[in-house]
Amino acid sequence: MSTNFDTRITPARPDLAASFLKGVVSAERFSDGRPVHVTRGVVNLHAAPSQNSGLHTQLLFGEMFTVYEDKDGWFWGQATLDGYVGYARASTFGERGDATHRVISLATPLLNAPDVKKGVRDMLPKNAQFCVAETGERFHRLTNGGYVFSGHTAPLDYREPDWVAVAEEFAGVPYVWGGKSSAGIDCSGLVQTALQAGGRESPRDTDMMEAALGYSIPLDADLRRGDLIFWKGHVGLMLDSTRIIHANGYFMRVSVEPLVLVRERTRSLEGVPVRTIKRL
């Protein structure tokens, strides 16, 4: 049986694997899994069942997740959105529910009542999904009893007409490895979030994006809005022919810079040249 697979997106360990991998991978036992959905604004997906383990990525309110193991307060499973596998706190999930709307603002408060003075339960990030039970004059009442401002939401099938503009909304947001919200985001999280808002599917990590998205153009080509620039372990998004937006550890934030400066800095400080440019 194969042992050559991407562990990031393959729910398989030596002791346990997803049932659909029977005959493909070797494991002591297999699980059919069960679907659940995220019930917190942002949930961390870890490399191990520990808060101190590495952060793979984040799951957003309403996202679906398949659980293959429930042990000691932790779920081990796979995200439906991009297939990422990891561990998350079991208390941050609920039984599967159907979403009707999603958040289109950078974030929106989940309120206790249709009154901004009555307190906030949580913050729901862009692309969070939820089920509306009732629509009032200004607020939606959700099936979980909370309320969100209707002006920050749209029906689930809404697509942003300019997905690059979504990335621009995150300018100045802190850089967080594995992050996917306005509280903190990384380079591939920024691109994936923007593409998702525009109705485009995307893998999670830069190497996956480099392999799967769009088609390659020459490194000296005239650039356009929406072109993706790849370094080893990093990705940025062109706003026009000269400027790039990217979440980066150098400034520890989402920055807009001339591409020529970024190229010079990454080459001189890190010895990392641009290796691929993809056009969608």
Query: What is the tens place of the pLDDT at every residue in 107-142?
Result: 999 999 999 999 999 999 999 999 999 998 899 999
Asked if residue 249 and residue 187 are part of one domain, the reply reads: yes
Q: What percent of the chain has pLDDT over 70?
A: 99
Phi, psi at 105, each rounded to 5°: -80, 175
In this prediction the pTM is 0.95
State whether residue 157 is helix, strand or coil.
coil
Amino acid found at 217: I
Residue 20 included in any domain = yes
Gap between the Cα atoms of 172 and 236, Å rounded: 15
Has residue 4 been placed in a domain?
no
Q: Is residue 267 part of a domain?
A: yes
Does 263 score more than 70 pLDDT? Answer: yes
Instruction: Output the pLDDT for position 272.
Output: 84
- pLDDT given at position 5: 87
Mean of the per-residue pLDDT values of the chain: 96
Q: Exposed (0-12), middle (13-18) or buried (19+): which is 71, by Cβ within 10 Å?
A: exposed
Would you say residue 3 has pLDDT above 70?
no
228 within 8 A of 277, measured Cβ to Cβ: yes
pLDDT above 80 (res 269): no
Range of the domain at 262: 163-279
Q: Cα–Cα distance between 237 and 193 in angstroms, integer?
A: 12
Closest residue by Cα to residue 223 from 196, 247, 206, 244: 244
CATH number of residue 109's parent domain: 2.30.30.40
Count of domains observed in the chain? 3
pLDDT higher than threshold 90 for residue 8:
yes
Q: How many CA atoms lie within 13 A of 158 on its CB side?
A: 18
Tens digits of residue pLDDT in 133-173: 999 889 999 998 999 999 999 999 999 999 999 999 999 99
